Amino acid sequence: MASDTWLIAGLGNPGPRYRHTRHNIGHMVLDELVDRMDAKYTRTKVGAQVVAARLGAGGPKVVFAVSEGYMNTSGRPVRGLMDYFDIDPERLVVVHDEVDLDFGRLKLKRGGSEGGHNGLKSITQHLKGDRDYIRVRVGVSRPPGRMDTADYVLQKFSAEQAKDLPQVINRAADAVELIITDGLTATQNTVHQS
């Protein structure tokens, strides 16, 4: 029988060059969650940095993780952590950037297609095609004009977006915590109406 532990994976790329780019908003949300726990990441053998803790006193067990590799290899460390902690896909929450949502909008869903997102494709591949995990999609907007999407998501946020970014990150972190404590449907009802 699988454990009741949750795995929260924030997608992004490693290193200072990518730290404040749109593609790394998943990392930013995880950093906020880890800060709330007053914890520090530790390195693992599977290529991820993690914090394993309880959400609140006596609350659910949660593993917060960011990959040390690039976005398109996210699946390997996620699968390694799921195997190590015996976590089912139903208890996997992936936080990632979403160009099909306006900046700052959040959309939560379970399953569905990867929508061209290489991080999600890698995770689904390493889960042998299982898409039954939860996605916290954080809107970064579409690129302007004819700009290539890959170039756009690897750029830093605009000055105007950067002003609102802390609030967006906080709302996404709140949504992750609510998914764990209240369930996906209740959280969708709260988040999608705001």
Residue 62 domain-assigned (yes or no): yes
Residue 1 domain-assigned (yes or no): no
Residue 153 domain-assigned (yes or no): yes
Is a pLDDT exceeding 90 seen at residue 164? yes
189 known member of a binding site: no
Is a pLDDT exceeding 80 seen at residue 11? yes
Residue with tokens 């949660």: 62
Which contacts (CB < 8 Å, 24+ apart) does range 11-19 have? 11/67, 11/71, 11/74, 11/94, 11/95, 11/96, 11/97, 11/119, 11/120, 12/66, 12/67, 12/71, 13/70, 13/71, 13/154, 14/67, 14/68, 14/69, 14/70, 18/154
Residue 52 domain-assigned (yes or no): yes
Residue 166 domain-assigned (yes or no): yes
118 known member of a binding site: yes
Residue 90 domain-assigned (yes or no): yes
Per-residue burial over 41-57, b = 16 or more CB atoms within 10 Å of its CB, e = otherwise: beebebbbbbbbbebee
H-helix segments, the chain: 25-36, 75-85, 118-126, 149-153, 159-182, 184-191
Residue with tokens 């299982």: 130
Q: Tell me the residue range of the domain where 48 lies.
A: 6-191
Looking at the structure of the chain, the number of domains it has is: 1
Q: Is 119 exposed, middle or buried (0-12, 13-18, 19+ CB in 10 A)?
A: buried
Return the CATH number at 107: 3.40.50.1470
Is a pLDDT exceeding 90 seen at residue 193? no
User: How high is the pLDDT of residue 194?
Assistant: 66
41 known member of a binding site: no
Active site residues: 23
18 known member of a binding site: yes
If we measure between CA atoms, which residue out of 179, 173, 108 comes closest to residue 137?
108
Question: Averaged over 9-19, what is the pLDDT?
Answer: 95
Is a pLDDT exceeding 60 seen at residue 23? yes
Residue 145 domain-assigned (yes or no): yes
User: How high is the pLDDT of residue 2?
Assistant: 65
If we measure between CA atoms, which residue out of 55, 56, 73 comes closest to residue 64?
55
Residues 6 or more apart in contact with residue 73 via CB below 8 angstroms: 47, 67, 122
pTM score above 0.85: yes
Is a pLDDT exceeding 60 seen at residue 38? yes
Is residue 19 within 8 Å of residue 31, measured between CB atoms?
no
Residue 49 domain-assigned (yes or no): yes
Question: Averaged over 2-12, what is the pLDDT?
Answer: 92
